[in-house]
Amino acid sequence: MKLIGEFFHPGRPKGKGRPRFGAGGHAFTPAQTRLAEDSLGYSALQARPDKPTDKPLFVGIVFRHPVPKSWPKWKRELCEQGMVYQTSTPDLDNQVKLVLDALNHAGWWDDDKQISWLQACAVHGDKPGVHVRVAELPSPDDQRHRGPID
């Protein structure tokens, strides 16, 4: 697997909001979603490869959500180790959609149908943000392939 880029976007992870409908039935993206996508897209733009790839892709995403201040010390320590999963809103699938749309608009690939392998998790951690890794998948005749991190 050939890593083509990765980046960390600091801040509380957001999810993609549902489209809204205006007069005449026209769909539009909510303002908060646009702002979150633009902010993440700026980080993606800074780290993107020189030209988009046309190969099949692996995308790995880790969403780190803030640790609630009310949690006890023992639970906060588990969060520092990435062992407490985030199970409240925003939903993981909505978070992933926002990231993939931001990378698509930033020009990381020709078409998002190239994403053949997607891995994502949402945890609580001491440094909230989104860590994204994108790699080209190996050709079928590559015998060394064992997983996303070779």
Handedness of CA 16, 19, 20, 22 (dihedral sign): positive
Mean pLDDT of the chain: 87
pLDDT value at residue 146: 60
pLDDT tens, position by position, 64-123: 999 989 999 999 999 888 889 998 889 999 999 999 999 998 989 988 899 999 999 999
Task: Give the H or E element holding residue 58.
Answer: strand 57-65
**Rounded Cα–Cα distance for residues 45 and 142 (Å):** 30
Q: Which of 66, 100, 93 is nearest to 80 (CA)?
A: 66
> Which domains does the chain possess?
2-17+29-136 (3.30.1330.70)
What mean pLDDT is predicted for residues 142-147?
59
Could you tell me if 19 and 135 are in contact, meaning their C-beta atoms sit under 8 angstroms apart?
Answer: no
pLDDT value at residue 99: 95
Q: Return the top range by mean pLDDT from 2-11, 43-52, 131-140.
A: 2-11
Q: Is residue 19 over pLDDT 80?
A: no
